[in-house]
Amino acid sequence: MKMAGSAVLLISLLSAIAPLPSEALNVRGHLLKSKTFRSPPILLGPGSVSNKYYHDVDFPRGHLAVKSFNAEVVDENGVPVPLHETYLHHWVAVPYYALKDNQSSDAQKVPAMLKGNDGVCKRALTQYFGLGSETRHTATWVPDPYGIETGNQEKAPEGYEEKWLLNIHAIDTRGVADKPSCTECKCDFYNVTIDEYGRTVSKNYTGGLLCCYDQTQCRLKAGFNAEVRKVFLQYTVTWLDWTDAVVPVKIYIFDVTDTAMLDGTHEHSCKVEYQVEECSAENRAGSGAIPVLQFSGPMVPTGMDV
């Protein structure tokens, strides 16, 4: 059986470790601040899909050193929603530059001036935080003396200011006919043959993002009914006001399916999902059924902590 999923390695110039007690109180004498925010409400009925962009979301303002960013799907009472009920296909948090004093909003239009990270996947994997469902409860603490720099107005293009967007892709799996098929976005379970841009989905494409886009519906068990419910991506940001004592962190994302380095080209081909080749009958009996991919190329700048 073919499966689709992302093959991404997130590397930053730090080790994501739990904070020491002294760091939890202050960093070199500066007050550590923390605040919890919520995304706009996400309405989900059984088997339904929401994959929306939310612009200018709540985020600490000013020139800051972000020390951690932790996210969780919760209900209206702030109670975490089990992954087996609301599958978080992916979520990403990305800074972008917007015109100052621009009040217009288009919830499905990605801003033209994404800030993005410092990795090689500039077009496909631009986020600062987030990936798939595995990111729940993943520690993101940035140890001293490092911090992820945000809100530096001197680096913004003239007339622009930094804001943040969230892209949240959630699948409600309550009462679905087959949960793995729904979370893997199998096209036949979504009855999708045309993607969200009106293009015909190839018959060789068994499942993936093309078949579980916003407002699609996965097959339910006969007779199952449940109410539409409201969930949120709840995220807690911990930060310091920026000082010269902070060493700025650069975030790098690499894609193991990107063969640019191996091919000797400068054009990277990072993917948001990867179709694993079906195992042949000959290899199925041995270890040959395990796909192995390699990434080769110059790593992040040397001379600092990785």
Q: Within a domain: residue 270?
A: no
DSSP letters along 23-60, please? HHHEETTEEPEEEEEEPSPEEE-TTBEEEEEE-S----
Half-sphere exposure of 166 (CA within 13 A, CB side): 22
Q: Within a domain: residue 166?
A: yes
Enclosing H/E stretch for 190? helix 187-190
Q: 82 is written with which tokens?
A: 């089990």
Distance in Å from the first CA to the final CA of the chain: 37
Q: Within a domain: residue 100?
A: yes
CA-closest candidate to residue 49, choices 153, 185, 175, 199: 185
Average pLDDT, rounded, for the chain: 81
- Domain extent, residue 84, equals 27-250
Distance CA 166, CA 230 (A): 17
Q: Within a domain: residue 300?
A: no
| Model pLDDT for residues 37-83, shown as the tens digit of each residue | 999 999 999 999 999 999 999 999 999 999 999 999 999 999 999 99
Q: Within a domain: residue 262?
A: no
Residues of the chain below pLDDT 50 = 1-25, 107-108, 110, 306
Q: Enter the pTM of the model.
A: 0.80
Q: Within a domain: residue 273?
A: no
Q: Within a domain: residue 235?
A: yes
Distance CA 273, CA 227 (A): 31
Distance CA 11, CA 300 (A): 9
Q: Within a domain: residue 6?
A: no
What is the greatest pairwise CA distance in the chain? 63
Number of domains within the chain? 1
